[in-house]
Each structure stands twice: as C-alpha cells, then as structure tokens.
Chain A
C-alpha cells in the first residue's frame, strides 16, 4: 500500500511539465526514503534524476518498495486537471496495475480522483558515481533559461567555459557567433540573484542546446540552477525543489572537433 499526500501539489505538476517532453515512459520508485525517478531520453543522451524526499510529504506511507511504470504524457494529462493550489495524493495498492491521483481543493469543496493505468517498463537503472566537479556554477535559473533560449536562435550547440573570469556561453551558426559571459556576482540584494563560480580547474565543454532548452522547463521549480562541469563527464544541471529534493538533468557532452 502506498499513499503519499503532497500539500503543495503544484510541485508535482511542475515536475511533470519539466520532464514529459524529454522522457516518454519512466518508472517511479517509491521507498521509505522518498519518491524518485531515473530515466533517459530515447536517444540516451540525457538522463533525468528526480528525488522527492518522504519528509516533504504531509503524509507518506510506503509499506514496501514499489516501482510504478508510467507514461509521463498521460500522467501529465491527469495532473493538469489538478488546480495549482490543490493537495495531491498518490495512491496505489500492492500489485495493482493502476495508480490513483486524488486532488483536493484548499477549501475541501472539490475532490477529484483520477485512476491511471500503469505499464511495464524495462528500464535500466544506471549507477551515477559521486564526482568532484572541476567547476560548479550557481546562477539565477531564469538567466540560464534566457541564455539557452537566446543562443538557440543562433546555433545548435553551446560551449560552456568556466575560467577565473566567469562562465562563458558561446555558440556559432550560419548567421554568426555569440558569446555571453556571466561574472561572479555575489553583491546582490537577494541571494537567489547571485552568480557564484566555484572553480578548481578551468573547463570547457560542448553541449546540444536542444537538450539544455528542454531542461530549462524546470525553471519554475527553483530560482537558482546549479551547473556542474568536469571534462570527460556529463554536465549536471540541477534545480532544487524547495525542502523536498531535486531534479537533476545529466547531459553527455559533444565530442570536441
């Protein structure tokens, strides 16, 4: 038996909106520690890892570990029926081939339940080793989204380079080139507006902008984004989910020319 009650249901709505176009089907894993997901896109270039810790739920019951295969497009269709202020409860019985999403309006005057069919998904769980990243950039998530969107109008790939000077996002296309440099800036009014660069070694990697743009759909989950880079490793683009966990996108680099 599984029953997870999330008062801030909008978080789950936002999570789905941010991953449904990247991943078609995924297994949600439920254990006593939390509700999680790991899935790759169909071309195995990007991987998403989601964690919503059990402590973040108002009520969390998971009698035994469960893996529930869901079509994210269908799950998103159902979650879109929840109001932004609604409380969302996820329920499933052991061995059941369905999951139920229950939505309660804040005033309890509207209660809906949606039952969705589960599916068998043969997904391979990858081991993600702990890594010391050469450069870690934290910046406003909206700024990162703006840069990815702007550059994708000019080129298909972005070179992200971190040096003592700052982080540089560069692209090149038929119409020309673009370079955007963000310097470390910690003298801001609000901490979430800061750009912080922790660099142990300079690093420069090339990535497909199409994927970066897809990751920025998670911008609504967090005011800041953390980009962790090391040569010879996928970049990690992480959005923290307030007091609950995170959504991390891993993207394999392009091979340098």
Chain B
C-alpha cells in the first residue's frame, strides 16, 4: 500500500 501524503506538506499556511 502506498502511503498517502498530506496537502499541508506541499502548501503552507498563508
């Protein structure tokens, strides 16, 4: 099973 990445690891808090 491929682990899932999170959106927050690409985009940071504005």
Residues of A with Cβ closer than 8 Å to B?
Answer: 40, 43-47, 124-129, 157, 206, 208, 232-234, 250-257
| 20 A–B contacts, CB within 8 A, in A order | A40-B7, A44-B7, A45-B6, A46-B7, A125-B13, A125-B14, A126-B7, A126-B8, A126-B11, A127-B11, A127-B14, A128-B11, A252-B7, A252-B10, A253-B5, A254-B2, A254-B5, A255-B2, A255-B4, A257-B2
- Range of interface residues on chain B? 10 to 19
In the complex, are the beta carbons of B14 and A255 less than 8 A apart? Answer: no
Q: Which residues of B contact A256 (CB under 8 A)?
A: 2
Q: Which residues of B contact A234 (CB under 8 A)?
A: 7, 10-11
Residues of B with Cβ closer than 8 Å to A?
Answer: 2-14
Q: Which residues of A contact B3 (CB under 8 A)?
A: 254-255
Min C-beta distance of A152 to chain B, whole Å: 16
In the complex, are the beta carbons of A157 and B2 less than 8 A apart? Answer: yes
Which among B2, B3, B9 has the greatest number of chain A C-beta atoms within 10 A? B2
Number of A-B contacts (CB under 8 A): 57
In the complex, are the beta carbons of B13 and A208 less than 8 A apart? Answer: no
Q: Which residues of A contact B9 (CB under 8 A)?
A: 252
Cα A256 to Cα B2 with chains together (Å): 6
Min C-beta distance of B10 to chain A, whole Å: 5
Given contacts A128-B11, A254-B2, A257-B2, 18 further A-B contacts (CB under 8 A): A40-B7, A44-B7, A45-B4, A45-B5, A124-B13, A125-B13, A125-B14, A126-B14, A127-B13, A208-B4, A233-B10, A252-B5, A252-B6, A252-B10, A253-B5, A255-B4, A255-B5, A256-B2
Cα A47 to Cα B6 with chains together (Å): 10
Cα A14 to Cα B6 with chains together (Å): 27
Cα A254 to Cα B4 with chains together (Å): 4
Min C-beta distance of A185 to chain B, whole Å: 31
In the complex, are the beta carbons of B11 and A129 less than 8 A apart? Answer: yes
